[in-house]
Homo-oligomer: A and B are copies of this chain.
Amino acid sequence: MAVDYQPPQCLSRPIEVPSKLLMGAGPSNAAENVLKAGSLPLLGHLHTEFTQIMDDVKQGIQYAFQTTNTLTLAISGTGHAGMEAALCNLIERNDVVLIGINGIWGERAADMANRQGADVQTVTKVAGENFSLADIEAALLQHKPAVLFLAQGESSTGVVQPIEGFGALCTKHNCLLLVDTVASLGGEPFYMDRWQVDVVYTGSQKVLGAPPGTAPISFGPRAVAKIAGRKTPISSFYFDMNWLGNYWGCDSQPRKYHHTAPISSIYALREALALLANEGLENSWNRHRQSRDRLISGLAKLNLKPLASEPAARLTCITAIRVPDGVDWKSVTTHAMSMRVEIAGGLGPTAGRIWRVGLMGQNATDERVDRVLEVLAESIKSATTPVTVMGRL
């Protein structure tokens, strides 16, 4: 039989992938051994050698989240898949879901919760600020939600949300606490059990420094009970934690075929978690804090200001920088990219107002902080419209 359409010419060219310093909001650069693990030979999704690797990954995720929760695994998708998996398992139609919105992640969570048929309520802060316990308690009293969503790392504004104390508050108000740590895990202290967080997820491609494509997630006992008590089916088969928990050996049943895990991505995730375990969480937290502090000092010398005026509200992993008047933000990022250094612009509510510099995983070092400062300074210089030109108009 003959084909109707011929092969595309573009696929006869070799693949071209330049090396860049990824100092935006993620993905960050991966370590060489993590990338190499991703090219090891494939195994079957239920082979003993592979389920052993899944077990290793599970233990690494428990460590990274600081939890002993049994229902802990990696979703076969990117960070957004983690968010969707958390929400679709927890939410039944008409459940009241309270979303903290101080940037794009709350907006995305609200979008997803709406699609699950939730009664979505919001509590908001302007870009650059975070929520206090009092803010949240007032909203819990007002809306009586079944689930509260907070993003620990609001990457669109460079803001960290304190989580300590919020779990106890939610328990008191009979609400589950769901925390997004995509842009913070490994770079900000996080204690799932100690802080009584009911569900948490992250992405592989930020501080963990693995390629994007897997989303570590964990459900605590109250969340497991909510799923067990559902009256309606979980809308997604792919993200159904009952199936996924079995496949990941989280129950006492033999592992059944649910889907084929992304084998190579799980290899890479294992090696990224091994790097974290080897360094130790405290060391990783300290390294990220020190890198961020060095960046903030360097920015001050360039007369650049972080978006978050309150120092305690600044995220270690991603710093949002106000674009000075008279500077075209886009010319700056374009110039930086021409030097093979990625600096991100704003996102959602902060688009056009800020740059974002990520210091995550392999990129949270003095050398890379100094390099991004150098490139930023040069790019601003190159992009700034001279005042004399403005005067002539």
Copies in the complex: 2
Interface flags for A58-71 (1: CB within 8 Å of B; 0: not) read 01101100111000
How long is the Cα–Cα vector from A84 to B30 in the complex, in angstroms?
A: 30
Contact status A237-B39, CB under 8 Å: no
Contact status B282-A1, CB under 8 Å: yes
- Whole-angstrom distance between the Cβ of A254 and the nearest chain B Cβ: 12
A265 contacts across to B, CB distance below 8 A: 211, 213, 262, 264-265
A281 contacts across to B, CB distance below 8 A: 3, 7
Q: Is A129 an interface residue (CB 8 A)?
A: no
Contact status A41-B63, CB under 8 Å: no
- Whole-angstrom distance between the Cβ of A390 and the nearest chain B Cβ: 28
Interface flags for A294-314 (1: CB within 8 Å of B; 0: not) read 000000000000000000000
Contact status B211-A12, CB under 8 Å: no
Number of interface residues of A (CB under 8 A): 103
Closest to A93 in B: B117
How long is the Cα–Cα vector from A24 to B260 in the complex, in angstroms?
A: 13
- Say whether, besides A17-B49, A238-B77, A260 and B42 are in contact (CB < 8 Å): no
Closest to A60 in B: B11
Contact status A44-B66, CB under 8 Å: no
Closest to A81 in B: B238
How long is the Cα–Cα vector from A111 to B243 in the complex, in angstroms?
A: 13
How long is the Cα–Cα vector from A77 to B246 in the complex, in angstroms?
A: 19
Q: Is A271 an interface residue (CB 8 A)?
A: yes
Interface flags for A39-57 (1: CB within 8 Å of B; 0: not) read 1111111010100110110
Interface flags for A171-213 (1: CB within 8 Å of B; 0: not) read 0000000000000000001010110000000010100000111
Q: Is A4 an interface residue (CB 8 A)?
A: yes
Among A129-157, those with CB < 8 Å from B are none
Interface flags for A249-272 (1: CB within 8 Å of B; 0: not) read 000000001111111110110110
- Whole-angstrom distance between the Cβ of A302 and the nearest chain B Cβ: 24
Q: Is A220 an interface residue (CB 8 A)?
A: no
How long is the Cα–Cα vector from A236 to B237 in the complex, in angstroms?
A: 11
A13 contacts across to B, CB distance below 8 A: 56
Contact status A212-B262, CB under 8 Å: yes
Contact status B44-A1, CB under 8 Å: no
Contact status B68-A238, CB under 8 Å: no
Contact status B277-A7, CB under 8 Å: yes
How long is the Cα–Cα vector from A270 to B282 in the complex, in angstroms?
A: 39
Closest to A233 in B: B115
- Say whether, besides A77-B76, A273-B11, A62 and B264 are in contact (CB < 8 Å): no
Q: Is A229 an interface residue (CB 8 A)?
A: no
How long is the Cα–Cα vector from A24 to B265 in the complex, in angstroms?
A: 21
How long is the Cα–Cα vector from A261 to B277 in the complex, in angstroms?
A: 26
Contact status A78-B78, CB under 8 Å: no
Contact status B24-A35, CB under 8 Å: no
Q: Is A29 an interface residue (CB 8 A)?
A: yes
With A76-B77, A211-B262, A212-B264 already in contact, 5 other A-B pairs whose C-beta atoms are closer than 8 Å: A20-B44, A77-B81, A77-B238, A78-B261, A262-B265
Enumerate 20 A-B pairs (CB-CB under 8 Å) in ascending A order. A1-B189, A5-B66, A7-B276, A7-B278, A7-B280, A11-B60, A12-B274, A15-B53, A15-B56, A19-B41, A20-B47, A22-B43, A36-B39, A79-B260, A80-B237, A115-B233, A205-B260, A236-B236, A262-B262, A264-B265
